[in-house]
Amino acid sequence: MKVVRYPEKSEYASLLARPVMDSSTLESAVQTVLSEVKRRGDAALFEYTSRFDGVQLNKLEVSEEEKQVAANQVSPALKEAMQLAAANIRRFHQAQVQPVEIIETMPGIQCWRKSVGIEKVGLYIPGGTAPLFSTILMLGIPASIAGCKEIVLCSPPDKTGKLHPAIIYAASLVGVTRIFKVGGAQAIAAMAYGTETMPQVFKIFGPGNQYVTCAKQLVQRDGLAIDMPAGPSEVAVFADATANPAYVAADLLSQAEHGADSQVLLVTTDENLPEKVSEALKKQLEQLSRAQLAEKALQNSSAIVVSTKEEALEILNLYAAEHLILASDQAKEIADKVVNAGSVFLGHLTPESVGDYASGTNHTLPTNGYAKAYSGVSVDSFVRKITFQELSPGGLKAIGPAVVEMASAEGLDAHAKAVTIRMQNHV
């Protein structure tokens, strides 16, 4: 990691810049895939799966028999761990459901808001270097709580034409209704536009590589909703003199191992900490199976030494990290001043890993600075909020003259007439 000591405020923006990729060539390639799937349906999916995943499939959808086989292949220990995580995630997200509350804004005027589940949603789960079955729990559980009627899951098959058993088991555990062995931009296209086999959905969720991310952004231009803008995964750690360098190093590596394009940031008020963390990083890297990926991510990352925690917070709020760890004895006090972050982890005993898997909070979070304006996935992500209102004769009499006055001032006579015609008959 590059170490920067006591930077000037004018340097903050350049220090915190994320890597920028030229997307023009990428967009062209992805748009071709989207157009082909839209035009040719399943035939294009079979062709792209053969070309990109190296396997010739006979069918796209996972059968009931495959689900049963997969359930038997998942170890009892992993099943138990997934069930524990699912219970915590369900408990946390269930509490987000609010009862309908009728508000009387004036005597005789009642207004309320009702949450209605999005009828059809699509979940994208990467395969690649790691089968992210944990993301199925994070997306499928709030979708189920929200009351989504159809929950479609897409994930790329391996070279034998199968999905990882844990992916299939997790999907069954959380109520996914249909599972497809389709990955990449072609999976996003299939869910966005529908094919002979794949149902069209109304909103797409889930992480993915640059092709998947680009595909989600392009189908959004066609009017399909997506969860949020996304980029490579990231973590920022604030650490003071009370921090344990080995813990900090482990937290940085747990994010860096996601991929070479991941980014980690350490901000500290202890000028000796970067060297201690660097030594711990070297030792821990030797024990990682994904060490090469983590090393590349660390090359794009920085440790910044500042004089005060106020400066640290200014930098961290400007960075707006997907994950923010506060490695300090004063974590709760510091947390009160955090305004931009996806998810925050307080103290020395709260690694990001618990939020990624099992504490209950959602790990699908805004990256690339979008935490300044976006929230992580929740039950709200899977619902539409519909407002209702009802007037009694007394309510119409009370509010009618004000509506007529305002509509007339805007020159919208029909709006005014819709009120006066009722007042003539009922008031």
Is the sign of the CA dihedral 203, 205, 211, 216 positive or negative? positive
Q: Pick the catalytic residue: 36, 257, 322, 352?
A: 322
Q: Interhelix angle for 184-193 vs 42-53, to 10°? A: 160
How many residues in the chain? 427
Tell whether residue 169 is among the known ligand binding residues.
Answer: no
258 is in an annotated binding site: yes
323 a catalytic residue: yes
Q: From the candidates 36, 164, 257, 323, which is the catalytic residue? A: 323
Q: Where are the beta strands (DSSP E) in 228-337?
A: 234-239, 263-268, 302-305, 323-327
**CA dihedral over 3, 334, 207, 35, signed as positive or negative:** negative
| 186 annotated as a binding-site residue | yes
Catalytic annotation present for 11: no
300 labeled part of a ligand binding site: no
* 233 is known to lie in a ligand binding site: yes
Question: Half-sphere exposure of 196 toward its Cβ, with a 13 Å CA cutoff?
Answer: 10
H-only helix segments in 222-258 = 245-256
Is 323 annotated in a binding site? The answer is: yes
What is the C-alpha to C-alpha distance for residues 269 and 276, in angstroms, rounded to an integer?
Answer: 13
C-alpha–C-alpha distance, residues 108 and 393, integer Å:
7
> What are the b/e assignments for 218-248, b being 16+ CB within 10 Å?
bbeeeebbbbbbbbbbbbbbbbbeebebebb
Residues 6+ apart with CB under 8 A from 71: 165, 168, 169, 172
356 is in an annotated binding site: yes
Coil, strand or helix: which one is 96? coil
- Residue where the block lists tokens 């069930």: 83
- Give CA separation, 303 vs 42, 173, 215, in Å: 48, 41, 33
Q: What ranges make up the beta strands (E) of 240-367?
A: 263-268, 302-305, 323-327, 343-346
- As a whole number of angstroms, the distance between CA 35 and CA 307 comes to 54
Does 124 count as an annotated binding residue?
Answer: yes
Q: Which residues define the annotated binding site for NAD(+)?
A: 124, 186, 209
Q: Which residues define the annotated binding site?
A: 124, 186, 209, 233, 255, 258, 323, 356, 410, 415
Catalytically annotated residues: 322-323
Q: Which residues define the annotated binding site for Zn(2+)?
A: 255, 258, 356, 415
Q: Which residues define the annotated binding site for substrate?
A: 233, 255, 258, 323, 356, 410, 415
